Amino acid sequence: MKVLLTAFDPFGGEPVNPAQEAVAAVADNIAGAEIVKVVVPTVFGKSIETVYEAMKRENPDVTFCIGQAGGRVGLTPERVAINLDDARIEDNEGNQPFDRTIFEDGETAYFTSLPVKAMVAKIKEAGLPASVSYTAGTFVCNHLMYGVLYHISKEFPDMKGGFMHVPYLHEQVLNRANTPSLSKDDIVRGIEAAITAIVENA
């Protein structure tokens, strides 16, 4: 099995992105699956293009995207992506779409094909907080998840895909009172546990 594992670069004025930091440290082989990593620009349009090109190039069995959700307590596999861009802040190239459809010929929403409940259970077995999320937001994270599932539905019928949000790193919350965070090592363990669940439930 091959897993395409993606992570966004820093955005919103943050010096780091926990997704990028953790994915870089994830093992290259997990439960027998080969892990191929790609860093994705936090930019509407370009994020989907970057991962779509990697999907065509690598032809993975699974495309698994990771992003930051500051303020969340644990790791949260996403259940659904919606066909809507509605940005509260600008992306890394100054784009801030409002009430925009991602793909005109796409479904209203796509559900992940990853075993999100098994992923949550495996992350909890590793001693880390996790829960299934039913909203990926309307920023670039949802945009990318929707784009991946759109392309899977159109071109890659045997591929599975999905997205997981991770919390802030400890160093990101030094000046944020009462804001949850995890260490990079814990986020790495959580991602690896999630991938193990994906492999075991293939």
Catalytic residues: 78, 141, 165
Closest by Cα among 103, 187, 191 to 148? 103
**Alpha carbons 26 and 188: distance in angstroms, whole number:** 6
Q: Sort strands 62-68 and 33-40 into parallel, antiparallel or unpaired.
A: unpaired
Query: What DSSP string runs through 79-110?
Result: -EEES-B--SS--TTS----SB-S-TTS-SEE
* Structure token digits, residue 151: 């392309």
Measured between alpha carbons, how far is 90 from 111 in angstroms, rounded to an integer? Answer: 26
**How far is Cα 104 from Cα 183, in angstroms, rounded to an integer?**
40
Q: What residue has token string 């091959």?
A: 2
Q: How far apart are alpha carbons 189 and 127 in whole angstroms?
A: 9
